[in-house]
Structure formats: C-alpha cells, structure tokens
Amino acid sequence: MEENNIENLFDRCSSFPDLDASKRFAALVGIDDAKTRLVRSLGILVNPEGLHKWGKRFYPDSSLLLGFVEQRPPLIILAGDVGTGKTELASTVGDPVARQEHIDVTLFPLSLSTRGSGRVGEMTKLLSLAFDETFKAAHKLKKHGSKAGGAIILLVDEADAIAQSRENSQMHHEDRAGVNAFIRGVDRLAKQQLPAAVILCTNRFSAIDPAVQRRAAEIFTFDRPNSEQRLAVLELALTEAAFTRKQVDEIVQITGPVQGCEYGFTYSDLTQRLLPALVLDAYPDGPIVFKRALEVITKIRPTAPFREP
C-alpha cells in the first residue's frame, strides 16, 4: 500500500495524559456515570493489572470469575442521538485512563477516508491496514505479566458506515468484506491480549452488524439531556452571567421538549450554540440581559434527532 494511504489511515493522533483533553473531559457534565464506567472498563481492557490486584485482595480464588471479565473483546460501543457527546467523550477518555493506569495512551482516530473510494477491495484493505498499525503499536507496549507499558485506543466515528449489518439484503459485497475485516481486527487484538481497545461511535445502533454488537464488552447509550443534565451544563456559565437560580431554571425548562417541538436541546446545542449566542448577542455593547436572552433562545431550534431511513 502506498505511503500516502498509510498516512491517511488516521486523523490527527493524540497522546495522553494531556491537559487540554483533561479540561474537555471534565467539561462533559451530566454524564458522570457513563464517564466513570467507560474509564473503568477501558482501564481493565488495556491494562488488566488493576483487576488482578483487586482480585488478589478481595477474591484470591476467583480466577474463573475474573476470567470472564478479562476475556471480553476489547470493543466498546457508544450509541445514541446526535449531539449527545459521544465523539467528544471518546476523543478525550484516553486522558483519565492514562492517569488512572499510570501509562501513556495514544488515540488513533480512524479517518473517514478509510472507507475508500469505492474501488473493489479498497475499504477492506484499508481497514486491515488500520488494524495492522494498531496491532504493531500495541505489540510494542505489551509487557510480560499484566502490566501494560502503554495503550492504544482505535476510535471509529460514524461506525455504521463501516460496521453496518451484513443482514441488509442490499448491502454491497465489498461492504460485507469490510465488516468481516473489522471483526477479524477486533478478534486479533483480543486473541493477542494486547493493550489496545476499539471504540465505536454511532447514531444508528440498530444498523451495526449483530456480530459486532455481540463482541462489545460495553454498550453505552446516550440520550438528549434531561432537565437535571441541562441544569448541570448551564448553571455555572449562566451564574457567571449573574443569572439567578430561578432564571436558570426557566432556561432549563424552555430548552427541553416544549409545545410545538417534541425534542429538546442536545449537549452540543447548549454548549456550541445557545451559550455562545447569548454572549455574541450582548457583545460588545453591554451585559447579557435575561429578558433578551429568552428572546434569543426561542429563536434557536434544537438539532433534529437522527431518523432511521
């Protein structure tokens, strides 16, 4: 495979721990349970030493029990609505994993170009190459015993375009071959027990091939933020703008499902559209005024949910 194709396998790779990633991860509020579980699961998948220490401390005769945990394929699926923080979580989770496990973690974000240009066999070859690169990098980090010398996270965003179900009668044979290549890659990482894990992000969990779903060690489902989660996102920022708690609660209420719209704001709607819109509306002439803020917010339409075709 040509050198330029190798370079196109991954988007910008990231190394952890990293201060910017730590801040971005901390900014993902309202999904604390998912964050905790994901860090814990990834930590065990890429570096089982902590699990072994826990077992020796509490269950010294638990080799069978711990074996079920350790033998899981190194695959995690993040599924849910658009704008719910899946990709940002997957892109930054390497930082808390690195800090928790005291190892360096590298993120390999699979480039959308890996899907190929449609030529027969291209996507399968590119996927295989991507897993080969992941395998080689992880193999260098494997040590004797359960302690890893580092870890690799392979991130596949918009995964339904690569791992879509082979049960679809209209699926092209090249796409089927690509799914097979993906499954072989995950199985290869599992068989070698390498310090590596794969994270899939998808808006269409039902479109993911059943064999891929079965291999997932964990499946996290993300919904639009409820009122408590919207409050967690908005409260601190709006308090900085001198809004009272009553005013914040009113904004929390109108950013949820309201008459005329059955769905509320996504996390990205709140952080990337609503809050910046309030600042830019007031800038540079004066402060953010609550009454005017309500007018601005009512003009913002929340992102429509992804609808299955």
Q: Dump pLDDT digits (tens) for 137-156.
A: 999 998 877 678 999 999 99
pTM: 0.89
Scanning the structure block, which residue is given the tokens 């929390």? 252
Neighbouring CB atoms inside 10 A of 238's CB total 23
pLDDT band at 118 (very low <50, low <70, confident <90, very high): low
Find the radius of gyration of the CA atoms of the chain: 22
Which DSSP letter does residue 117 get?
S
Give the whole-angstrom CA distance, residue 5 versus residue 2.
Answer: 5
Q: Where in the chain is the domain with CATH 3.40.50.300?
A: 3-222
Report the side by side order of strands in the sheet with 105-109: 14-16, 105-109, 151-156, 196-202, 75-80, 218-222
Q: Does residue 169 have a pLDDT over 70? A: no
Q: Which amino acid is at 246?
A: K
Helix (H, G, I), strand (E, B) or coil at 283: coil
CATH topology of domain 3-222: Rossmann fold (3.40.50)
Pairing status of strand 196-202 against strand 151-156: parallel
Lowest-pLDDT choice from 168-182, 198-212, 231-245: 168-182
Helix (H, G, I), strand (E, B) or coil at 110: strand
Mean pLDDT of the chain: 89
Say which residues have a Cβ less than 8 Å from residue 207's Cβ, sequence separation at least 6. Answer: 160, 164, 165, 308
Question: pLDDT higher for 83 or 117?
Answer: 83
Contact (CB, 8 A) for 285 and 243: no
For 41-82, write each residue's pLDDT tens digit.
999 999 999 999 999 999 998 889 898 998 899 999 999 998
For 262-306, write each residue's pLDDT tens digit.
999 999 999 999 999 999 999 999 999 999 999 999 999 999 987
Give the whole-angstrom CA distance, residue 219 versus residue 203.
Answer: 13
Contact (CB, 8 A) for 27 and 232: no
